[in-house]
Amino acid sequence: MNAKYMNPYLAGFLLGLVLLLTIYITGRGLGASGALKSVVAATVSATAPEHAAQSEFYRDFSSTHGGGPLKQWLVFEVIGVLIGGFLSGVVSRRLTWTTEKGPRVTNALRIGMALLGGALFGAGAQFARGCTSGAALSGMAVLSAGGIITMMAIFGTGYAVAYFFRKLWI
């Protein structure tokens, strides 16, 4: 049987400490979507170098990310998240190979929706310069107006559209 999840307030406190430590040591916050961007940039410049050289998007990326697309802080951090998540899953016996979904949803629909949701998140994070971790959470910690506005937009829209997609989850 799976171990119980941690008390959410304790988990939040610990997450806050990890974030605080990150800011204290490195002067920057945690993130996730930036690593996706690195992987995309690395793939495109490896498979279609001419295209990457012409594209405004990838030129902008490489001008602000020196040292190669994969030798980036967020890439290493996200590898850490993978390791940390895995270790936690081992310790709490939660390793699995399943598709988690609402009670009225088929596996195929769930995977399709996860792909679509991920794509929206990937694109939205480009506009907002960060996702829930990089913009909303880390932004809140340093009182960033942009981060807090993004956070309100994420959760506000979530609540606004939740009703229309309720069959996915309840």
Site for another protein in 119-158 (CB under 8 A): 119-158
Q: Does 69 participate in binding another protein (rule CB under 8 A)?
A: no
Give how far the C-alpha of residue 9 lies from the chain's centroid of Cα atoms, to the nearest Å: 21
- 100-109 contacts at long range (C-beta below 8 A, 24 or more positions apart): 101/168, 102/167, 102/168, 102/169, 102/170, 103/170, 104/167, 105/167, 105/168, 109/168
Closer of 46 and 152 to another protein (Cβ): 152
Q: Does 102 participate in binding another protein (rule CB under 8 A)?
A: yes
CB of 124 to another protein, least distance (A): 3
State the Cα–Cα distance between residues 26 and 77, nearest whole angstrom: 12
Q: How many residues line the site for another protein (CB under 8 A)?
A: 124
For another protein, which residue of 1, 47, 50, 82 counts as binding (CB under 8 A)?
82
State the Cα–Cα distance between residues 74 and 12, nearest whole angstrom: 21
Maximum pairwise Cα distance, the chain = 53
Q: Does 49 participate in binding another protein (rule CB under 8 A)?
A: no
Q: Does 46 participate in binding another protein (rule CB under 8 A)?
A: no
Closer of 53 and 92 to another protein (Cβ): 92
Q: Does 42 participate in binding another protein (rule CB under 8 A)?
A: no
Q: Does 12 participate in binding another protein (rule CB under 8 A)?
A: yes
CB of 93 to another protein, least distance (A): 10
Give how far the C-alpha of residue 31 lies from the chain's centroid of Cα atoms, to the nearest Å: 7
